[in-house]
Amino acid sequence: MILCIDVGNSHIFAGVFVEDKLIFRFRHDTRQASTSDQLGVFLRMVLRENTIDPLKIKHISISSVVPSLDHSLASACIKYFNIKPFFLQTGVKTGLKIRANQVGADLIAGSIAAIKQFPDRNIIVIDFGTATTYSVVNSDKEFLGAVIQNGINTSMKGLQQNTANLPAVHIVKPKQCVGRSSEPCIQSGLYYGQLGAMREINKNIIEEAFQGSPALVIGTGGFVNLFEQADVFDVIIPDLVLHGTYLALQMNNT
């Protein structure tokens, strides 16, 4: 069994793989985990509670965009699993020709999984997390760069924190564009603002990076299903980053 961990700014998203198959996944609030003991106890506990023996974990692979947690997480893996984890970071094998600097591990992980499933294609990976990110990979497996915008939940929190009368709302697809009270007005702005940005950014990426040639658009991340019917994606793969984290371990463990 292989434990793969995607450490994001809001959540730790993890999963267990057995023979290339993701059999179990779980989340944890990033901000509630800081010490190696907290992380180690949580990981062992959640596995046991779901009838997975922690002793059967043979490798751990991590992609992280939260450097402050990396040391604690590595120490937790060593102390509670007796495993030195693999980190997806600069210098490891990825199968990509990376043409950009300071690229987040989550973007690389998603791109690794994308080119594995869809070789010889121009690809845009849209990942909905704390930020909404667009990874751009051409048919020659070159990671050309990315676009980063506010995530939909981050935008909602920004409105709440910086206005006197606008509340936090449930993030849903609105029934209509024009709202008649604060909550549906905000929901509409969040949904259509993100959707409009996606369409415009995709159009510009295709023109600039691929010279107008078609691109496969993959959706992933926490809010991807919100836009499932919006005719933006060619395919939705919610666990893309975990699959890429798993593949990176395989490439570097041979």
Structure tokens at 253: 């463990």
29 catalytic residue (yes or no): no
**What is the distance between the alpha carbons of residues 22 and 4, in angstroms, rounded to a whole number?**
10
Among residues 20, 37, 106, 234, the one annotated as catalytic is 106
Catalytic residues, by residue number, are 106
